[in-house]
Structure 1
Amino acid sequence: MVMTPRERIAYSAIVDRPALDLPDGVRMPVWVIVNVENWDIRRPMPRAVLPPPMGNPLVPDVPNWAWHEYGMRVGFWRLMEALKRRAITPTLATNGSVCEVYPRVVQAAHDEGWEFMGHGWLQGPMHALEDQAASIARTIEAIRAITGKAPRGWESPGLTETADTVDLLSKAGIEYVADWVLDDQPCMIETISGPIVSVPYTVEINDVSIMAVAQHSSDEFLKRGIRQFDRLYAESQRSARVMSISVHPYLSGVPHRIGYFEELLDHVASKPGVVFWTGEQILDWFTSSTQTNGS
């Protein structure tokens, strides 16, 4: 029988928990995620910068497909250069099919030592899949073929999950998920195969939410990111907090936005005790911490 979310994870007030400690010298981990996707021109586009004429969806949708394609051809490389100059190793959330369609992108990320996180096979909701387990397995194997190892983390396209997605992920060997954006600290989610860790992801410091959905001005990403970081950094003096920064090449990789991304990284990096960790580094710290504390 499929569990409800409340059965999977009990309510917990952060003020009631014991302090979550970090290694000596670390004040706060920051997790940077670069999302790369494959948008199938034969289907409606996952997002649109131009609404269809007369409000009728069109297939093929060339302008919106090309908007995303610019990110893979140009924007991705701006993001990579910005991160490389700052010696930041991010997590690459990738559709499995990106490994076939954009091998240049995933090979470059692998060569730079980025962590790979599963992001579905093709960009589209998990609810639309006929066989989730097969799609998950196919994605894991495509990443394994590039990196030599299976991904430990998973972010569903659009953070979509059905009632049993997390069970299927755990059964497939996934150790952490980014879909459950419900806390500033990692936490355990129960599955039929044992617990899986929720690593704090974000819909707030995410260029899709800010730019593509809410359609804020480009500097909102920086302003919101600074405010988010400053408050979490202050709170982390008492107990660990995790901040994530999620970007997409077709949004943050464009010329008028890349500078705001870089300014946010520089602001974060300027504070003592901040470390840029990948999802699996956060996972390993949290699981080690909970085992040490016996919880």
Structure 2
Amino acid sequence: MSFARPDRSNWKLPDSARIAVSVNLALEAFRHKSQLTLEARPGKTDHFSLSYAEYGARAGIWRILDLLDELGLKASMSTNGKAAELYPDAVRAVAQAGHEVVGHGWENDVLNEDADPEKELEEIRRVTEAIASAAGVRPVGWTSPGSAGSQNTLDLLAGEGYIWNGDQANDDLPYSVPTKNGPMMILPRVNMPQNDLIMWAKANNPPGVIFESFKDTFDELYAEGRKGSPKWVEIVLHAHMGGRPTLIPTVRRCIAYARQHEGVWFPRKGDIARWAAGIEGIDLGARA
């Protein structure tokens, strides 16, 4: 497989859209503690923190699915293999609603090392199998926990049939990189100011800060798009954070604001990757 190489000088979006707006979800499972913890002792499992994360599967993802259905949007969901194993009904519901399910490591608080590619390959295959079993579809995209992939991740993913990865933060447009096993489309992180973990849960900001960040980012990128240089902005909702009732009105405001403008494309991340790569025939809803 070969990918078309996106060129900044003539980069366009489908139907000459001025901006792309995507929604990325995360359904995560942990070994010792989630992102929010009350336990300060190293190596001690924080059971409260794990229960905080479990909210995502018990309540949060269902609230988000209702919201996406209300808004008529399709999203992508980064999914730990352990989460797919623990919460198959939630993962299948996401896939059956037409959302993209994305590989996200096995446990969200356990990372891979550069020195052990065989262990990482085993994990990628285990995650792929767990997601495919739960969702009924095979993932074609991958974002490592914390975007902390190893030096081997892209080579391994390409060898396992993945087409895109989201572990970089070095651009605001997709781009293709060569690997030992063929090209990989990179979808850089364009979501820092609209990420519930960064801007709300850990920052002690009011929810409205996310809307303000989204609006300012959207306005600047939309202006660039009107000048012929369209870009992409994303909202990130972890099911155990953004799936709580506090943030739902903010997400509605963000989408409503975007829809006040002409020429806005609302893709899944895999749709962006396929468009950027110039490839057809990879159906994000194909049966596993």
Shorter-chain TM-score: what band? Answer: 0.7 to 0.9
2:132 to 133, 140, 144: 144
Aligned to 1:270: 260
- Deviation by residue 1:49-79 (Cα, 9 ceiling, x = unmatched): x533xx4247331221111112221121111
Q: Distance in 1 between matches of 2:270 and 2:52?
A: 31
| CA displacement at 1:181 relative to structure 2 | 1.7
2:175 equivalent in structure 1 = 187
Residues 170 and 194 in structure 1, CA contact (< 8 A), matched pair in contact too = yes
CA contact (8 A) 1:126 1:132 kept: no
Q: Tell me, what secondary structure is at the counterpart of 1:31? A: strand
**What pairs up with 1:276-287 in 2 under 5 angstroms?**
276-287=266-277
Match of 2:282 in 1: none
Q: Work out the CA distance in 2 between the residues paired with 1:195 and 1:258.
A: 37
- 2:239 paired with 1:249: yes
1:24 aligns with 2:15: yes
Give the 3-state SS of the residue equivalent to 2:156 in structure 1. helix
Contact 2:91 2:135 in 1 (8 A): no
**TM superposition shift of 1:25:** 4.8
Instruction: Tell me the equivalent position of 1:168.
Output: 156
Distance 1:146 1:51 in 2: 32
Question: Are the counterparts in 2 of residues 92 and 115 from structure 1 also a CA contact under 8 Å?
Answer: yes
Q: 2:86 aligns to what? A: 101
Determine the structure 2 residue equivalent to 1:51. 38
Q: Whole-Å Cα distance in 2 between the matches of residues 70 and 173 of structure 1?
A: 32
Render the CA deviation track for 1:147-173: whole Å, top value 9, x for unaligned: 444211101011011111111111111
CA deviation after TM superposition for structure 1 residue 85, in Å: 0.4
Aligned partner of 2:192 in structure 1 is 203
Q: Which residue matches 2:212? A: 223
> CA deviation digits over 1:228-254, x for unaligned, max 9?
111111112222211121111221111
The answer for the alignment partner of 1:5 in structure 2 is none
Q: Are 1:200 and 1:242, in contact at CA under 8 Å, matched by a contact in 2?
A: no
- Mapped to 1, the partners of 2:156 and 2:97 lie a distance apart of 30
Give deviations 1:99-156, integer Å, cap 9, x for gaps.
Answer: 2201121111122011111111121243369610000011111222234442111010
Q: Which residue of the partner structure matches residue 60 of structure 1? A: 45
Deviation at 1:83, TM superposition (A): 0.8
Partner of 1:239: 229
Distance 1:272 1:200 in 2: 25
Q: Number of residues paired by the alignment?
A: 269
**2:55 pairs with 1:70:** yes
- TM-score (norm: length of structure 2): 0.86
Please list every run of 5 or more consecutive structure 2 residues that lacks an aligned counterpart in the other structure: 1-5, 280-288
- C-alpha separation between the residues in 1 aligned to 2:198 and 2:127? 25
Stretches of structure 1 lacking an aligned partner (at least 5 in a row): 1-13, 290-295
Q: Is the 8 A contact 1:91 1:115 kept in 2?
A: yes
Amino acid paired to 1:118: G
Is the CA contact (8 Å cut-off) linking 2:34 and 2:49 kept in structure 1?
no
RMSD across aligned C-alpha pairs, in angstroms?
2.1
TM-score by length of 1: 0.84
Determine what percentage of the aligned residue pairs are the same residue: 29
